[in-house]
Amino acid sequence: MRSLRVISSYSLVLATLCFASGAAFADFRICNRTEARIGVALGYKDGEHWTTEGWWNIPAGTCETLVRGTLIARYYYLYAQDYDQGGEWSGKAFLCTRDKEFTIQGIADCLARGYNRTGFFEVDTLDQKNWTVQLTEQNQTPQGLRGPNLQLGPNLPNQKKQ
């Protein structure tokens, strides 16, 4: 995990609702609208329990479904890193990750449990059944809000520095 946190060279199109004509589906997707390969980690609360998962390796110009079916949470948390050019999409919601493929239960004491403590950004799906997040490079024309939403949602517990 790189310690350098660079988000200034990127902008994030936070959310784009994606509706298929005539098709009834419910997924949480991420689209890589950059010219680089990216790695993505996802965090969410399922009832009373926090889970983080990673890594989805998404080639340039493609989309990947991270959650198939009905979304179990309103708020999802994403962290993405650019494998080819450096930089990342990050935020102020700290969750546990590791360098290799992972599914981690809980968000407390990441370092003490042998994990990395990583800053995720929040995505508010507004309780929609289907949601797509598009990550873009700064020089591309955004299709929505610019910059990551760094506010914590009401479902994220207070974060303490570790």
Query: Could you report the per-residue pLDDT of 103-124, keeping only the tens digit for each?
Result: 999 999 999 999 999 999 999 9
Is residue 84 very low, low, confident or very high in pLDDT (cuts 50, 70, 90)? very high
User: Which range scores top for mean pLDDT: 9-18, 34-43, 85-94?
Assistant: 34-43
Question: Of 14, 16, 12, which is closest to residue 128 (Cα–Cα)?
Answer: 16
Is the pLDDT assigned to residue 127 strictly greater than 80? yes
Please tell me the distance from the alpha carbon of residue 126 to that of residue 35, in angstroms, as a whole number.
29
Question: Of 121, 120, 125, which is closest to residue 149 (Cα–Cα)?
Answer: 121
Spell out the residues 6+ positions from residue 90 whose beta carbon is closer than 8 angstroms to its own. 5, 7, 79, 118, 119, 120, 121, 148
Average pLDDT of the chain to the nearest whole number: 77
| Residue 152: predicted pLDDT | 30
Is the pLDDT assigned to residue 90 strictly greater than 80? yes
